[in-house]
Structure 1
Amino acid sequence: MEFLAETLRLEGRGDHARFPLCPRCDKVNGDHRCKDCLGGGELLCGECMAEAHCQLPFHKVERWTGSNFERTSLKKLGVRIQLGHWHGPERRCSVPTPATDDDFVIIDVHGIHEVGLDYCGCGRGGSMTVQLLRAGLWAATTTSPKTAATFAVLNHYQLLSYESKCSVLDFYQALARETDNIRFKRDKERYSSFLLMTKEWRHCRMLKRAGRGHDPAGIENMQPGECALLCPACPHPGKNLPLDWEAAADDKQFLYALFLAMDANFRLKRKDISSEEKDPGLCRGWAFFCEVEKYMTHVKKNWKQTQERSRCVAHDAVDKPDREARGTASSGVGAVDCARHNMKRPNAVGDLQLGERYLNMDYMFFASIVGSPLVRFFVSYDIACQWHINIWNRMVAYQDETITIDGRGKFMTFLVPKFHLPAHIEECNLTFSFNLTWDVGRTDGEAPERGWANANPLANHTKEMGPGARRDTLDDHWNDWNWKKIVALAYTMHRKTETAVPEMVKTRQALADLEESLDAQAVEEWTQMAETWEANVRAPNPFETQRKDQHLAKVRADLALEAAKREAEKKENEGAVRGEMHITELLGMGLQLEDQHKLRRKIFAWIALQTKFFPGLENVRELEDHTRARIAETQPIPGMSVSDIKLWMPSGVGAVEVQLTAEVQLHEYRLRVGQAHEALHEIRRLLLVRTHMYKGKDRHARGVAANTRSGDKIAALNAHIRRAAAQYRAAWRALQALGRALKRNEWEWTLLDLKEDDIRGLPQSRFGDPDRQKKKKRKKAKVQQPERPLSWIWISRGEKEEPGDQAAMNEAVRIEWAKTRARAMRWKEEVDLLEECYIHATSPVFSSTFR
């Protein structure tokens, strides 16, 4: 209540009601107060108020009418802004001013003000624009300006836009309401002038910070990307690398490698309004966007380029590059970032016209590294498995000197970001993994995603801009993004080092403990196998099981070959193809989504494809949605999960009226058999690894820390076992339905109902007791518990291996050893990279040339 009372007190005269005289002159009544001065409740006479605000012409003043305060202005009290030059240390030019303006508007952080303004009349003060600039006022035009903005308000808006992503209109409307919250709509006539001034301000600030004001040639000598802030922790030959960096040993070359990450953003669209002729922009390829004329020449010249069909899962970026682009001049942007430090690369951003096409992403990639003398490159892209295949052939075909590089002597490793990798096929998970690739440390390749999260709020107003204004705005924001990353680099690297060093020690010890419990000869053989694969990826992969059986990948490959053969022989059933997709591809994608259930957008895209093959499901889904909505009206459902979306695979549509052919059911039947075998194989492999972990824990774990660490690993392994079991049970239930429909039961011989008690390791007499069944102890006598029978999952029914095959045990342990070794190597590399990045970032040569 006290706060409310004092707030209301400021609406009136307070103590001045009893002492009405002006406290400064003590001659006449004080009837004016300033809302912006500290202690704004003080009432002064008009003459004293004007004298006190000669150097504060933008404060808001009110006058007491006898019953209330009303808005007035310092201009009415006689305050004028005197421009000109200083005659001496204490006074301005006193020459009479023939040039005056009583209708001048200045936009300031306190609002929008009409002021009286006098220009210098001695001839030495410069032009009107120069006089305004020297007073800290940015003129809206160079010809008889009538509007200006203070440097303070332009800087305030720029910082506010960095953090809140507010538009110029929103900020201006706030200033107008600050000026007059009742009639603020009338002040919109100065919005266009303020918009122009903000564009000019941000551009000139960028040029100033890039050092262009000290170049005798000015902006005419600007080179592409010169205004972009560079990442000081990345390698820059001639700036932060030793002179002999090219002569470094092979095992140290990765310290001077460039880590790049590519991605596209479809939130940053631009509507099909304005044009390059009307709005060319101020920054002509000097920061992050490619030089637009050269880039669009490349796009138009190669527009008819065809892309290879994806050999991995159906990536939208590869198979469906025509994302929603109707009504847009740009469907999004593509960019190349520094993968380890999350900073935008110069000249590595460009507009996308029709989705994420290779011709766009190729240009940005090559433009970001053209002219670089570096030798090693690690390139992260969520479709790198497909995009990299013919990249050098495409570069030659472009015949564009802007992006042509000499690939001789350069070594590039293409990888898939860690978050995106699980959605790829098994081969990609083994070949393009950051975790399994040497010399990459703990890089995750997801840098662009973090940058998009910061830039996406800009989409609300940049989509309405012209092409040039949008590029200038995004360039300015990405420069600020890089600046904040640079300022925080010391803290970030310190925090990462505090994490990396203990993890390096811990993973080294884990590898040593594991190898101590293994046969020395086996470790030597596996090490040789791993090193051979690291030197040649075509060699046997130590992370890959050689015992495929009839797993899902093999079944999918067989179905694809059969479909291709039928198509070549013109025997393809018309109902099995929709567009360029075969029914087997749809079912394979469905099995993946059923297992993942985390990619909502991909699930809905798959559902749209499914209804083309099975139109009857559209009614079923509409009924589901209606029922769910009706239940939600009476009993709200708290946050429906993606996993609640029913996919309605052919094996699950028996209860609804959907026409299915026996051929479609047979396709899913074969896929489900492969899925069940694969899941069963994974369960067996994980149980064998758990056996080995238990044995290692019993033999080597000593103390609370070691036992806790081992327990955490075993708990994580148990979670993987439960997921594999759930996958097997889903496949088994589907086979029950399909088996009845197709009248096939041969699968029942090898694939039985998996109960919880069936998920146990081999008995102790074979390879130890993985389930750690403690024998009951009695006080008077010890009773030997009978050994449990071998679980059916270990009994070979038509498969090659014998029950408890030693080869299976060795392979499972080999894969676990390879993963443990990879973890230890990645953390060691991470520590080395962090140390080298610190040396890069603190190089005195780079500091002197860094912009």
Structure 2
Amino acid sequence: MKQWSENDREVYLRELLRMDGYGINEEDTMCRQCGIRPHQYRCIDCCGDVRWCLECTLDLHITNPLHFIEARPCHSTKNHCFNPKRAFNDDFLIVDSSGLHEVALDFCECERAPSHSLQLMRARLYPATGTNPRTAASFRVLRQFHLLSFESKCSGYEFYNSLARLTDNTGSPSRDRYDEFMRMIRQWRHLKMLKQTGRGHDPAGVLSTQPGQCALLCPACPQPGVNLPPDWESVPDKESWKYTLFLAIDANFKLQRKRVSSEERDPSLGSGWAFFVDEGKYKEYLAANWDYKQDRSTCMSHDAVDKPDREARGLAASGAGTIDCARHDFKRPNGVGDLQLGERYINIDYLFFMSLINSKIRIIVVSYDIVCQWHKKLFDRMMSFPHQMHLQNNVLYITFLVPKFHLPAHIEDCNLQFSFNLTKGVGRTDGEAPERGWASINPVAQSTKEMGPGSRRDTLDDHFNDWNWKKTIAFGDRMLTKIKEAVPARSEHRQALQDFEASIPPTVIEEWKLAVENWEKDASQPNPFKTKTKAVSEQSARLQLAAEAADDAVNQNSTYSHMSHPSVMIANGLQLEDDQRRLSADIVGLGQLPTTKQLTNILERSNSLRRRIAAWTENQTLYMPHATQERIKHTYNGSPDGTASTRVTDIQLYLPSALSKDVVIDESLRIIEWKLREGQAYDALEEIRHVLRLRSHMYKYKDRYSRGVKANTRSNTAISNATTRINRASEKYRVARAALITLAPGLELEQPLWEHALRRLNKEDIRGLSEGLYGDTEGTRKPSWIWMTYNTISDDEGDNPALNEALRVEWCRARARAMRWDEEVELLQEEMRRILAFLKWHELWWEQQGVAASSSDAATNEGKIAYSRKQASLRRMLHERFSVTWREIPRFIELWEGKVAV
């Protein structure tokens, strides 16, 4: 670029300027075509810098009426500039990708001549109306905008105005054909959809189109009679899971529609033919069940459950709900519908059952971010639907799960019951397919928001079909990438499981295996991933110490019979220490310009805390006289009782863990602090985990519902407060763990392996359950150790039951990870087989359309046969391309299988 700016920039600029002038020797004034008449015209769309006279310009552009012609007023005048020139009479306006063209057209008026609109179509010009058309658009501009709207999400308004400025960028008024252009592009979208799905080949005509018949199907999903083996229904249970249909449900509140136009003024061109359900039947069902009352959530406070009637002032649709293919991100036929107020069950139920009409699949997995609530009474609600919408009797198993990214925001029971990671037969499916689709369709929302109901549904149907088509042609590289990731990961996790089992007796492994297999067969059996022991906490430790103090008092064997029990003194010291941390954090959070009210509050809290510390140190002297000596040794300019002039947050409390081993104190005091510190550490970890789950929920709520400055500020404040709580709990944990490390040497501990559970807490460890480290992917990330810590005290007998239970849960998870990757490899191989089978079936289907093509018009019949062969050839080409791309996969798998014994 530097070289260009130094050497070529001036040259290029001069050349551009030269083109605006006469550009040639002024003595060369004759037309380059005839050589007789003076040249005054040039075409900016033709190649070369050639000038012609008017007659030659017209002759040369008979077949190019949409080229732009520029004219120079007169060679003899001093005005040497060229200006746009209407070389033809402004009788007819044609919209083309080069601009808006006013041209003269002579229609054939012969007795056997087709209508004016058909004459335009045969000239590759699309008429704005079928009766006496005065405006048309070239096929080229319609095709260009069609693809541009898919890739850049450009609106029709922006595109049309770009053409208008391309025609004349001076602001001069021109004939407005925006409404005509939008009408033409809508019809173009619809006709292309009918053509590409074979509806033009049906002898019964377009009106015989069945619901969902114009939606492009997912080649990788199981489709009986298309891509499944003939005996798929009779395979053993251990193989049947590979024919599972995975569905994902979600709602998008950006796909709104304003309350403009109506169904009568703007109906769909094919209601229910593609992805959107038939609007009439849909609205009829909603009206009949509108008063259905949803039960409140028993999980987190999901707004989609507790507050389904989302505010929708001025909106005819507050969003859209969809049913997607969960593994391949395809939109399902008749799986999309408008939401009127919010994510109500009645809307989602209708879309779910409509997407499964006539489905013969026996095993279904359904993913939904509120599935823990939605699936309750689902089959009771199904009874309110017409019989043809009921799930067929062939459905043997239906499993409800929560998407992986959304699951951490749920309570612990949901994390165990609805987890993809713990459920058999789902591979590495994450259930987040709709979220990826929303990222593509959301930019369209600004233009569809202003459309009438029919226009909006037709436009979104078209975009969803394009999304499905792009997914189809990308299957070759996409599946190859997945299998290359899955096979090594399977070997890695198999090896990890074997390494884990190497140190555990085989009889114990068999016992655990039996328990987890029983749970997988019957969810009512005890969940092996769930701990059964009581949680360690600071309160439980205090309760235990209080019980011991009561026994000492009864038996009169306490050294401190004339005083309160020392556990109370140490517990109060820990509380003062925590209050110091809180006050210190709040002082730091004041900023550079605190208000008078804030300063007053801090000062009052400091004074109160100082008095409490002074009272506590007097009591501490009775139990720990050496602490007083340490305080005197290290305190300057203040009294021994801790009321020094230094900041109250810096006052040392000298608990047993703060004293050196050389200081002689009662050993029971160290044991008491150990127990309290252990509970304090587990409490802090539980607080971190709880707030991380809460913050994850806040992030999702903000992304989905917060719009505008006020709502976003409120959400950001809540998230900031949650982060502050996490930081405070993290500091509490680090202090407690440091004290445990100091106290541990020399103590006979009930849990000698405590350091395995209470590890060092680094910044990167503080992350949500579904969050990985920087650079981690979904398949490579591992949960932070804070989610794997077992804060338990067992009521059972045994050498170390709490540790045994922790090992069991960890083994179950390691087994689940290995199984999911093993299933993923098998699923991917089956899906690749199904894709090839689908393409072969679709090729034959298109060939049959050509054979069955019948029309009274020979030219039309020939066109149908040619198009069917073209589509069959396209499927054959994709089949060959994918087969070549995947040909080395069996060998790749064999090589990896040889690395790890199975």
TM-score of the two chains, using structure 1 as the length reference: 0.70
Partner of 2:718: none
Cα offset for 1:33? 0.9
Deviations 1:779-800 (A, max 9, x none): xxxxxxxxxxxxxxxxx99965
Partner residue in 1 for 2:105: 117
Name 2:391's counterpart in structure 1.
405
Equivalent in the alignment of 2:140: 152
Percent identity for Structure 1 against Structure 2? 49
Q: Does 1:480 align with 2:480?
A: no
Distance change (3 Å), C-alpha of 1:123 and 1:678: farther
CA distance in 2, matches of 1:164, 1:349: 23
Is the 1:761–1:771 contact (alpha carbons within 8 Å) kept by the matching residues of 2? no
Name stretches of at least 5 consecutive residues in structure 2 with no aligned partner. Answer: 1-9, 74-78, 541-585, 607-676, 690-721, 760-789, 847-870, 872-902
- AA of the residue aligned to 1:157: F
* Pick aligned residue for 2:197 from 210, 214, 218: 210
Match of 2:91 in 1: 103
Q: Which residue type is aligned with residue 412 of structure 1? A: I
Alpha carbons of structure 1 residues 127 and 110: separation in structure 2 relative to 1, 3 Å:
same
Native 8 Å contact 1:310 1:319 kept in 2: yes
Q: 1:73 aligns with which of 86, 100, 108?
A: 86
Shift of 1:840: 0.8
Which stretch shows the higher mean deviation, 137-146 or 418-427? 137-146
Secondary structure at the aligned position of 1:14 is classed as: coil
The aligned amino acid for 1:730 is A
Contact conserved, 1:262 with 1:335, CA < 8 A, in 2? yes
Tell me if structure 2 keeps the 8 A contact 1:285–1:292: yes
Contact 2:533 2:794 in 1 (8 A): no
Going from structure 1 to structure 2, the CA distance change for 1:675 and 1:364 (only over 3 Å counts) comes to farther
Closer/same/farther in 2, CA of residues 683 and 334 from structure 1, 3 Å limit: closer
Task: Assess, with a 3 A threshold, how the Cα gap between structure 1 residues 521 and 678 changes in structure 2: closer, same or farther.
Answer: farther
Q: Which digits, 9 at most, give the CA deviation of each residue in 1:589-625, with x for residues without a partner?
A: xxxxxxxxxxxxxxxxxxxxxxxxxxxxxxxx9xx99
2:740 counterpart (742, 745, 758): 758
Task: Tell me if the contact between 2:687 and 2:729 (Cα under 8 Å) persists in the aligned partners.
Answer: no
User: Taking structure 1 as reference, are residues 142 and 267 closer, same or farther at Cα in structure 2, changes over 3 Å only?
Assistant: same
SS in structure 1 at match of 2:826: helix
Deviation of 1:724 after TM superposition, in Å, equals: 14
- Indicate if the aligned counterparts of 2:125 and 2:138 stay in contact, CA closer than 8 A: yes
Residue 43 (str. 1) matches residue 73 (str. 2): no
Which of 808, 815, 824 matches 1:830? 824
Counterpart residue number, 1:137: 125
State the match for 1:810 in structure 2.
804
* Runs of 4+ displaced beyond 3 Å: 406-409, 550-554, 627-631, 651-656, 672-684, 723-729, 755-773, 796-805, 846-851
**Counterpart-to-counterpart distance in 1, 2:131 and 2:532:** 79
1:797–1:387 distance in 2 versus 1, CA, 3 Å = closer
Partners in 2 of 1:149 and 1:445 — Cα distance? Answer: 43
CA distance in 1, matches of 2:604, 2:390: 58
Given that residues 360 and 395 in structure 2 are in contact (C-alpha distance below 8 angstroms), is that contact kept between their aligned partners in structure 1?
no
Q: Are the equivalent residues in 2 in contact too, given 1:683–1:725 (CA < 8 A)? A: no
- 1:210-263: CA deviation from partner (whole Å, max 9, x where unpaired): 111111111121100000000001011111111110011111112111000000
The one-letter code of the counterpart of 1:476 is D
1:302 partner letter: N
Counterparts of 1:600-679 in structure 2, within 5 Å, are 677=682, 679=684
**Contact map agreement 2:737 2:758 (CA 8 A) in 1:** no
Deviations 1:472-512 (A, max 9, x none): 01001000000100010111101101101111111111111
Distance 2:490 2:347 in 1: 40
**CA 1:652–1:288 in structure 2 vs 1: closer, same or farther (change >3 Å)?**
farther
Q: CA offset at residue 137 of structure 1?
A: 1.1
Secondary structure of the structure 2 residue equivalent to 1:546: coil
| TM superposition score normalised by structure 2 | 0.66
Query: How much has 1:404 moved relative to structure 2?
Result: 2.1
Q: Secondary structure at the match of 1:187?
A: coil
Q: 1:729 to 1:538 in 2, by over 3 A?
A: farther
- 2:19 maps to which residue? 10
Residue number among 188, 198, 201 corresponding to 1:201 in the alignment? 188
- Per the TM alignment, residue 125 of structure 1 is displaced from its structure 2 partner at its CA by 2.6
* 1:50 positional shift: 1.8
Equivalent residue for 1:276, pick from 263, 266, 286: 263
Alignment of 1:345 onto 2:353: no
Return the offset for 1:327. 1.1
Name the residue aligned to 2:116: 128
CA contact under 8 A between 2:421 and 2:820: conserved in structure 1?
yes
Greater shift, 303-312 or 250-259, is seen at: 250-259
Q: Aligned pair 1:848/2:844, yes or no?
A: yes
Closer, same or farther in 2 for the Cα pair 1:386/1:157, shift >3 Å? same
Q: Does 1:730 align with 2:718?
A: no
- Aligned position for 2:430: 444
Once the two structures are superposed, the pairs formed by residues 440-839 of structure 1 within 5 Å of their partners are 440-549=426-535, 677=682, 679=684, 730=729, 754-756=736-738, 758=740, 806-839=800-833
Counterpart of 1:418 (choices 394, 404, 407) is: 404
Shift in Å, 1:758: 3.4
* Mapped partners of 1:553, 1:291: distance in 2: 59
2:416 corresponding residue in structure 1: 430
Aligned to 2:104, the other structure's residue is in SS state: strand
CA contact (8 A) 1:138 1:148 kept: yes
Partner AA of 2:729 in structure 1:
A
The separation in 2 between residues aligned to 1:724 and 1:6, in whole angstroms, is 61
Cα separation, partners in 2 of 1:235 and 1:772, compared to 1, 3 Å: closer
**Alpha carbons of 1:763 and 1:504: their partners in 2 closer, same or farther (altered >3 Å)?**
farther
CA spacing shift, 1:414–1:13, aligned 2, 3 Å: same
Letter in 2 for 1:816: E
Alpha-carbon distance change, 411 to 496 in structure 1, aligned in 2, over 3 angstroms: same
- For 2:11 and 2:832, the matched residues in 1 are separated by 55
* CA–CA distance in structure 1, aligned partners of residues 413 and 591 of structure 2: 40
RMSD, matched Cα: 3.8
Give, in angstroms, the shift of residue 679 of structure 1.
Answer: 4.8
Distance across 1 between alignment mates of 2:232 and 2:41: 71
Per-residue CA deviation, residues 550-572 of structure 1 (Å, 9 max, x unaligned), is 77999xxxxxxxxxxxxxxxxxx
Query: Equivalent residue for 1:239?
Result: 226
Conserved? CA contact 1:234–1:837, under 8 Å: yes
Conserved 8 A contact 1:683-1:724: no
Out of 403-412 and 323-332, give the one that drifted further.
403-412
Partner of 1:173: 161
Q: How many residues align?
A: 644
CA displacement at 1:401 relative to structure 2: 3.3
Amino acid at match of 2:826: D
Tell me, what secondary structure is at the counterpart of 2:105? strand
Shift in alpha-carbon separation, 1:772–1:535, aligned structure 2, 3 A: closer
1:802–1:841 CA distance, 2 compared to 1 (3 A): closer
Shift of 1:677: 4.4
1:31–1:43: 8 Å Cα contact kept in structure 2? yes
**Counterpart residue number, 1:55:** 63
Partners of 1:154 and 1:113 in 2: how far apart? 15
Letter in 2 for 1:809: L
In the alignment, structure 1 residue 291 sits paired with structure 2 residue 311: no
Residue ranges of structure 1 left out of the alignment (5+ in a row): 77-101, 555-620, 632-647, 657-671, 685-722, 734-750, 774-795
Confirm or deny: 8 A CA contact 1:176 1:187 kept in the other structure: no
User: 2:861 corresponds to which residue?
Assistant: none
Distance 1:322 1:405 in 2: 27
Give the AA of the match of 1:848. L
Q: Displacement, 1:755?
A: 4.0
Q: Decide whether aligned partners of structure 1 residues 2 and 835 sit closer, same or farther in structure 2, where only a CA change above 3 A counts.
A: same
Change (3 A) 1:116 1:549: same
The Cα shift of 1:757 comes to 6.1
Structure 1 116/731 Cα, relative in aligned 2: closer, same or farther at 3 Å?
A: closer
